[in-house]
Structure 1
Amino acid sequence: MKRSRVSSVVLDPVRESLISSSGALLLGEAARVAGLGRLLSSALAPWRPARAVHDPGKVLLDLASAVALGGDCAADLAVVRAQPDLFGPVASDPTVSRLVATLAADIEAALPAIRAARAQARAGVWSRRRPLSGQAGTREGGQVIVDLDATLVGAHSEKELAQPTHKRTFGFSPMCVFVDHGEHGTGEPLVLQLRGGKASPWDKEDHITALDLALAQLPEQERGQVLVRTDSGGCSKAFLHHITDAGLEYSIAFPAHETVKSAIEAIPAQAWRAAVDGDGEPREGAQVAELTAWMPTPTRNSRPGPNHWPAQMRVIVRRERPHPGAQLRLVDPDGWRITCFATNTTGPGWTLAALEVRHRQRARAEDRIRALKDTGMRNLPFYGFAQNQIWLEIVSLAAELLAWTQTLAWDPHEPARRWEPKRLRLRILAVAGRIIRTGRRRRLRLPREWPWNRLIDTGWHALRTT
């Protein structure tokens, strides 16, 4: 039997001058195209000491690069610091800690400054290659879908405002807002608003605040064609009125309470229509109907805020035979699994089935949250609440760098546009290479047999010519 070449490999004490994250060259080029470093430097200039060596904007960008590469704490900046040929001079850990503490001490001014820089960079990226299908400024195919969702982030030690959550865990409950890039992309975060663990996922004021911050992150010409999607946590009269007053559309899960059950029992059998799947094909065992005409008028109450639902609100119900193992609820009649949502969308082409599919695609927000937790949000590394909010801005920058790289580097139908961060790191960012110097230029050489060299080459060319 022949001896395996793998088993004969031993560690050589001689070291080579290699780059272990060669694919991060694409991240740096995407940041350059977006002008992110320049914008952050300008925004954070007030917090740069007179004799500082390291620019605060460059420090935050380096931290975001480390998180994009898989880091989950400030100490992981060492991975970036170890590759100066690729990332340039990188600040020390004490310098990073002082900067985060300085920004956190002036959070009311520093946070808007960072967010303003992110918004300007996003506008630059979208002006070069819009990540959404359709034409900007139109509702037909050009609609910007914004998803809001609260999540839980655990804390394994005492941290400021880490509290018991509504799911009996301990930690924080940030509110997240994303732009859905659709079937040919992933998504990018607009807002990661840190909240204490006791914060409610149904808090209407938090939803209103998060939406307003998210709209400010969008390019100005895109703000008039926004569709807001949430789960039932966003189904409050105050929030829906806020969306309607802003001239926006919504698709929001509607709780299936007893009033909904009564309305379902009242509608005639011929009101039900066949539901469809994401490809537009009939979905076996699923039907949709409109409940609007059978919904009772809300009763007045003494709580602050509006006592009625917005005008033009439609309530649409979907019923489906549950899959094996699914449990029915008390409000699910006759063995049907019932889900409802409210929307104000009307117009040609928006059939009940099409509206229901569009709302069901809100589940992509769960994918975005999972990707964020793989990109630095799983653990908030600082004790101070304001410092952890700064960390969430770094996480946002990291996720945006990944999304903008995919948007600018590859065509919409390239599968790499849809890769989640784990796969993108494994196949593109983590490839090793060697920098050689020839003809007064530095060149990065990649492994000869790397399976995804084509993607790196085409991505580099697209970023350089965008």
Structure 2
Amino acid sequence: MRSDSAGATHKFATECRRQGVGFSFGFAVDARVRDAVDTLNLADAWYPAIDSGGGIRDGAWIAEATGLVDLSGWPAGTRLILRKERPHPGAQLNFTDADGMRVTAFITDTPNGVIDGQLAGLELRHRQHARVEDRIREAKATGLRNLPCHGFDANNAWLEIILAATDLVAWATLIGFTEHPDLATCEIDTFRYRVLHVAARITKARQIRLRIDATWRWAAAITAAWHRLRDAFP
């Protein structure tokens, strides 16, 4: 279970433990964490962060501060991991940033040796939960920002339609466009233009055929995806 600091509550962590689910929650950078950062800086106890490909992430470092902050109120085995990195060009520094570095923190109950990359792997796993924000943006672009009705039940039905549509698009890209990352990872507006709005006809004779304008730039990719989807759901 991954979340930002809004999910970092003792009750939630305890319930995750009761259900047998590991957790990785954002953690507030308070005075205790800032003191831990100072201690880690003096000890030169930071290690390079990694990117999604496993390479070194430039300008970012990881350290464990479990023994420097009191975590006794959290489930046994909870660890505190810190990351410091150079802010992006033009980013506004916060009062809590140390030595010009942006510091973030998270807690997790994942022990050593479970995730490849040790501390850096744990930080990468936690950072990747930000894809949730991408999904929310995609849902808004699919129609979530436009609740069209005055009644709660009608808008609830609209919400279910939007969620179904985003699920269908996600599965279509995952199954059908694995060999075309420009289509598999594009935003919904781009996917709608390139794939969903293409002029085509479904014809039925001895076989069901999807006829697409052969001059369309992504016609071959759409055709291959059509066959993969039909094979996946015969």
User: Fold conserved (TM > 0.5)?
Assistant: yes
Distance 2:208 2:88 in 1: 58
Q: 2:217 aligns with which of 451, 460, 466?
A: 451
Cα pair distance change 1:310/1:451, threshold 3 Å: same
Match of 2:43 in 1: 269
Cα pair distance change 1:385/1:292, threshold 3 Å: same
Q: 2:163 aligns with which of 393, 396, 421?
A: 396
Secondary structure of 1:451's counterpart equals coil
1:272-287 aligned at under 5 Å gives the runs 272-287=46-61
The amino acid that maps onto 1:320 is E
Cα pair distance change 1:319/1:434, threshold 3 Å: closer
Match of 1:354 in 2: 121
1:461 is the counterpart of 2:227: yes
Distance 2:71 2:112 in 1: 25
The amino acid that maps onto 1:370 is R
1:427 is the counterpart of 2:194: yes
Cα pair distance change 1:271/1:383, threshold 3 Å: same
Match of 1:309 in 2: 74
The amino acid that maps onto 2:219 is N
Q: How many residues align structurally?
A: 228
Distance 1:275 1:442 in 2: 50
1:327-354 Cα distance to aligned partner (Å, 9 max, x none): 2222222222110011111242341111
Q: 1:332 aligns with which of 97, 101, 112?
A: 97
Distance 1:264 1:427 in 2: 48
1:98-117 aligned at under 5 Å gives the runs none
Match of 2:24 in 1: 251
Distance 1:441 1:425 in 2: 27
Distance 2:203 2:127 in 1: 51
Secondary structure of 2:52's counterpart equals coil
The amino acid that maps onto 1:367 is D
Q: 2:147 aligns with which of 380, 392, 395?
A: 380
User: Cα distance, 1:313 vs. partner?
Assistant: 0.8
Is the 2:71–2:78 Cα contact (8 Å) retained in structure 1?
A: no
The amino acid that maps onto 2:226 is W
User: Cα distance, 1:419 vs. partner?
Assistant: 2.9
The amino acid that maps onto 2:44 is Q
Distance 1:252 1:235 in 2: 5
1:116-157 Cα distance to aligned partner (Å, 9 max, x none): xxxxxxxxxxxxxxxxxxxxxxxxxxxxxxxxxxxxxxxxxx
User: Cα distance, 1:291 vs. partner?
Assistant: 0.6
Question: How large is the Cα RMSD of the aligned pairs?
Answer: 2.2
User: Cα distance, 1:393 vs. partner?
Assistant: 1.1
Secondary structure of 1:288's counterpart equals strand
User: Cα distance, 1:421 vs. partner?
Assistant: 1.9
Cα pair distance change 1:441/1:458, threshold 3 Å: closer
Secondary structure of 1:341's counterpart equals strand
1:17-416 aligned at under 5 Å gives the runs 228-267=1-40, 268-296=42-70, 308-348=73-113, 349-410=116-177, 412-415=178-181, 416=183
Q: Unaligned 5+ residue runs, structure 2?
A: none
Cα pair distance change 1:386/1:436, threshold 3 Å: closer
Cα pair distance change 1:464/1:255, threshold 3 Å: same
Distance 1:317 1:355 in 2: 11
User: Cα distance, 1:456 vs. partner?
Assistant: 2.1
User: Cα distance, 1:449 vs. partner?
Assistant: 0.9
User: Cα distance, 1:316 vs. partner?
Assistant: 0.4
The amino acid that maps onto 2:123 is E
Q: TM-score, normalised by structure 1?
A: 0.46
Distance 2:231 2:146 in 1: 37
Cα pair distance change 1:265/1:426, threshold 3 Å: same
Q: Unaligned 5+ residue runs, structure 1?
A: 1-227, 299-307
Q: TM-score, normalised by structure 2?
A: 0.87
The amino acid that maps onto 2:9 is S
Cα pair distance change 1:355/1:413, threshold 3 Å: farther
Distance 1:434 1:275 in 2: 50
1:81-101 Cα distance to aligned partner (Å, 9 max, x none): xxxxxxxxxxxxxxxxxxxxx
Q: Which has the larger radius of gyration?
A: 1
Secondary structure of 2:99's counterpart equals helix
User: Cα distance, 1:253 vs. partner?
Assistant: 0.9
Secondary structure of 1:333's counterpart equals coil
